[in-house]
């Protein structure tokens, strides 16, 4: 059984495949990529806390990265305004 590495959903299906391998897409979270989690049993309870911890770490990294994006956008807007007023 395969599961989504991002949300641990079973609603994941192959999109494309070939010599390089398969690309999968998750119907629940929208994940698209070649990596999936494969389990031998139907209910993998022992790995759920690890995936929850990974999901929390990814969400925290995204929250930390957002202010940098806004700062970068403000700097670009300032430089464009400066160039516009110089002409």
More confident residue, 22 or 62: 22
pTM for this prediction: 0.46
Question: Would you say 48 and 39 are in contact if contact means Cβ atoms under 8 Å apart?
Answer: no
Which residue's entry shows tokens 């464009």? 80
- Asked if 23 contacts 32 with a C-beta cutoff of 8 angstroms, the reply is yes
Instruction: Give the pLDDT band (50/70/90) at residue 87.
Output: confident
Structural contact between residues 10 and 46, judged by C-beta atoms closer than 8 angstroms: no
Residues 54 and 19 in one domain: no
The per-residue pLDDT for 2 is 86
Q: Is residue 2 located within the same domain as residue 30?
A: yes
Task: Count CB neighbours of 44 within 10 A.
Answer: 15
37 and 54 co-located in one domain = no
On whether both 38 and 53 belong to a single domain, the answer is no
Q: What is the pLDDT of residues 38-64, one digit of tens each?
A: 877 666 565 677 778 888 888 888 777
Find the domain containing 17 and state its range: 1-43
């Amino acid at each position: 059984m395969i599961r989504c590495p991002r949300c641990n959903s079973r609603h994941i299906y192959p999109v494309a495949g070939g010599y390089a391998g398969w690309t999968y897409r998750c119907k629940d979270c929208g994940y698209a990529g070649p990596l999936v989690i494969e389990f031998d049993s139907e209910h993998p309870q022992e790995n759920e806390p690890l995936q929850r911890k990974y999901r929390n770490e990814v969400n925290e990294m995204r929250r930390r990265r957002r202010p940098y994006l806004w700062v970068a956008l403000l700097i670009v807007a300032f430089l464009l305004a400066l160039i516009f007023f110089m002409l």
